[in-house]
Amino acid sequence: MRNLALIIGLLVIAAQPAPHRAGIVVQYGDGSVQTACVAFAEDEISGIELLERSGIPAITQDSGMGAAVCKIGPEGCDYPAEGCFCQRDGPRAIYWAYQVLTDDVWTYAALGAASVRVRDGDVNGWAWGAGDSSQGAQPPVLGIDAICAPPASPSAQPVAPDDSGRRTPEAVPSASPAPLAAGIDSTPARSEPSYLIFAAIVAILIVGIIISARSRR
């Protein structure tokens, strides 16, 4: 019975949603923008962890200075087949610039995403474009409420996929804090632990009940 109570406790914990959320904004070279809302249970995570948990494909290079982002989605450098900053021209390069939103203003994060701590309500930005070690391209300003907005009502305009796999809205709500480029993708919040873990705990609970019932015979 003690094991059964433990299983039930784990089941209750797994059913609870992650208490924190943060947003991420990605702007590609063609001006299209992709967003994601990431839920997490920890008090804080790193900027790299936020990108990895967003579900947006990314290639990074680990080094003594932390992780560098070489490619996001289809755009960037295919490390290790080529250098992480393969499009360098002297002191400037076309690369993924990392920004942190503070009071509705993007701040260039020179230390890198591995060193930045992301907390509940924070928003990080990535933009593909020309820059150097002190500044880089910036995505549009989108606050946490715009990125982690509740699901749209049934009357909302449908979102049609484009050839790149990102989604292009047929209408942009007037309440948006900034004009949005084509290709907006409001990725649903990722719940941790996932429903697969929840299903696994349910299965364990059933097995525990069966074993407990047999042991009484």
What CATH number corresponds to the domain at position 128?
2.170.130.30
112 and 48 belong to one structural domain: yes
Selected residue with higher pLDDT from 171 and 156: 156
For residues 5-21, average pLDDT: 61
186 and 198 belong to one structural domain: no
Provide φ and ψ at 6, rounded to 5°.
Answer: -65, -45
183 and 131 belong to one structural domain: yes
Helix (H, G, I), strand (E, B), or coil: what is residue 169?
A: strand
* Cβ neighbours for 165, distance < 8 A, ≥ 6 positions apart: none
Look at residue 162 in the predicted model and tell me its pLDDT: 53
In terms of residue numbers, what domain contains 201?
1-16+193-217
Residue of 69, 113, 55 whose CA lies nearest to 77: 69
Look at residue 139 in the predicted model and tell me its pLDDT: 97
Highest mean pLDDT among 60-74, 94-108, 157-171: 94-108
For residues 118-147, average pLDDT: 94
29 and 117 belong to one structural domain: yes
107 within 8 A of 98, measured Cβ to Cβ = no
Highest mean pLDDT among 12-16, 42-46, 109-113, 179-183: 42-46
* Per-residue pLDDT band at 214 (split at 50, 70, 90): low
Look at residue 182 in the predicted model and tell me its pLDDT: 41
Look at residue 57 in the predicted model and tell me its pLDDT: 96
Does the reported pTM lie above 0.75?
A: no
79 and 173 belong to one structural domain: yes
H or E segment and range at residue 96: strand 92-102
